[in-house]
Structure 1
Amino acid sequence: MPIAIVSVPVTDVARARTFYVETLGLVVLRDEAMGPDMRWVQLQPKDSGATVALVTWFDAMPPGSVQGLMLAVDDIDAEHARLAAAGATVSPVDEQPWGRFTMLQDPDGNGWIVAQLTNPDEVKTR
């Protein structure tokens, strides 16, 4: 049973949508009104996978409360440079046994990890 949608709480859906599309490079799957005061904005990484819904309606999930969501990339150095050029504040690339990664936050403070994951078979042979 794969994860289909991860809710990310934001204050301003339009501002967050711009960040997730223009900075992170996600693709808009849906952007539809949900009544007079809400929008359903659903995004997905270009190479598929679980989707992200930008939400404003969960009282128990204030904007900025999601931390540690991870996006996998093939080349962390190239992605780090691309994110920085797109205006994101990214941490220096760090290395751990599970992979190399950088961290950043969306405009509301939700924390993301962008990682080049190490193949588990390679780790076993070290």
Structure 2
Amino acid sequence: MSLTQIQTLTMFVDDQERAREFYADVLGFEVRTDLAMGDNRWLEVAPPGAATAIVLHRPFPGAAAGTSAGTILASSDLDADVERLRAAGVSVDGPNELPWGRQATFADPDGNGYVLSAAG
């Protein structure tokens, strides 16, 4: 195999516009692609400069929004990011000191769970 990276991850969301606002306005992600494709919309967001993006997509048949958990986002200033999320009305657990480092957890408006991990 010649696999070199993870290009995108898909998060299922019920309301793509609400998700776009959360990821862009609250998390500070850039909107890389926002295209209508018939009845579908390809909405791709990522932290500035990141190689891997998240596709905010309506659930596929048999899937449900808000069922993803455990995606880890690296933070160069965990405390500031936690405070910024809380100021935006996001419920955040932590930061917590764990054997492997400091982290906090939160969810997007659909309930997809994230871990904020102190970088380096």
Q: TM-score, normalized by length of structure 1?
A: 0.86
For structure 1, list consecutive stretches of 5 or more residues without a partner in the other structure.
Answer: 120-126
For structure 2, list consecutive stretches of 5 or more residues without a partner in the other structure.
Answer: none
Q: Does 1:20 align with 2:23?
A: yes
In the alignment, which residue of structure 1 is the partner of 2:34?
A: 31
In the alignment, which residue of structure 2 is the partner of 1:68?
A: 70
1:84 alignment partner AA? R
Return the offset for 1:57.
4.1
Return the offset for 1:50.
0.7
**Cα offsets for 1:16-68 (capped at 9, x unmatched):** 11111111111000111010x22110001113131000111422431011101
Q: TM-score, normalized by length of structure 2?
A: 0.90
* Counterparts of 2:12 and 2:59, CA distance in 1: 8
Runs of 4 or more off by more than 6 Å in structure 1? none
* Counterparts of 1:32 and 1:47, CA distance in 2: 21
* Counterparts of 2:49 and 2:92, CA distance in 1: 22
- The percent identity for this pair of structures is 38
In the alignment, which residue of structure 2 is the partner of 1:59?
A: 61
Return the offset for 1:88.
1.2
Structure of larger gyration radius: 1
